[in-house]
Amino acid sequence: MTAVLDDQAATVAVPTATRAARTSALSAENVSAWFGRRKVLDRVTLEMPAGQVTALIGPSGCGKSTFLRILNRMHELIPTASLAGEVRLDGEDIYDRQRQVIDARKAIGMVFQKPNPFPAMSIRENVLAGLSLTGARVQRAAREQLVEESLRRAGLWNEVKDRLDQPGGALSGGQQQRLCIARSLAVRPQVLLMDEPCSALDPTSTRVVEETIKEIGHEVTIVIVTHNMQQARRVSDRCAFFLAEQGQPGVIIEHGETEAMFEAPHDQRTSDYVHGRFG
């Protein structure tokens, strides 16, 4: 699908950068998930407050990324996948049969582990391509404002403002990831999901992406999967510790404010994990 950018029939108003973005609370209640007959998550319940960064931590294979994909209905794209429970955005079930999948994914965006800009598209086109999933129409006069604002929010504007017509695939890895963040922000999501967004980046690029997360964290609700405990502590307001023990499905062992999770966790397994004793 390609972006609809029609001068004659604009349907989307682009807010100015100074206007407060809408943030929304996301919640999961008794979410279980399967791949075929294999259960990978068991009755996960978690509140992800509006305008905060929630980090999902835990060893590989405990269901964090599966849970993240459930939050914007990507789990159902896998033919053998199934789930139970509810995911609510501002109290409304995103799996309600009356709700379009495209509406859920417009409200709840995703940034993946590996940067995935469209290599043949320019930087400008990459940002505007984020509108394609929604079929949004934007007036010509508003396009450049949207491009600049999205790139500024992603912390990339000053680095690319003089080469917006160059291919997005020519950027460095860290710049490509921030371009993907800008593309997601261009559709005005209420929630932004990030699946290990820095795992493929060098330390300098990781620092810049972390700064971007902290900058936009009050404007959009963020849920991030990370295996880097220092990163979780630096960027998040809250943490949820997932664990799958002895072949059992993943569960949340503990969740709460990040500092409390690191300094005074209630469960010894949480303490052992965040202090590097396993995982």
pLDDT confidence band for 18 (50 / 70 / 90): very low
pLDDT, position 66: 96
pLDDT tens digit sequence for 89-138: 999 999 998 888 888 888 999 999 999 999 899 999 999 997 876 666 77
H or E element, residue 175? helix 173-185
CA distance linking residue 250 with residue 245, whole number of Å: 8
Q: What is the DSSP letter of 165?
A: T
- Does residue 174 carry a pLDDT above 80? yes
Neighbours of 137 (CB within 10 A): 17
pLDDT tens digit sequence for 227-242: 999 999 999 999 999 9
Q: What is the DSSP letter of 236?
A: -
DSSP secondary structure, 60-115, as one string: TTSSHHHHHHHTTT-GGGSTTEEEEEEEEETTEETT-TTS-HHHHHHHEEEE-SS-
Give the E-state strand segments of the chain in sequence order. Answer: 26-35, 38-48, 53-57, 81-89, 92-93, 108-111, 191-195, 221-225, 238-243, 251-257
- Does residue 67 carry a pLDDT above 90? yes
Domains in the chain and their CATH numbers? 26-274 (3.40.50.300)
**Which one-letter amino acid corresponds to residue 60?**
S
Residue matched to tokens 């003089």: 162
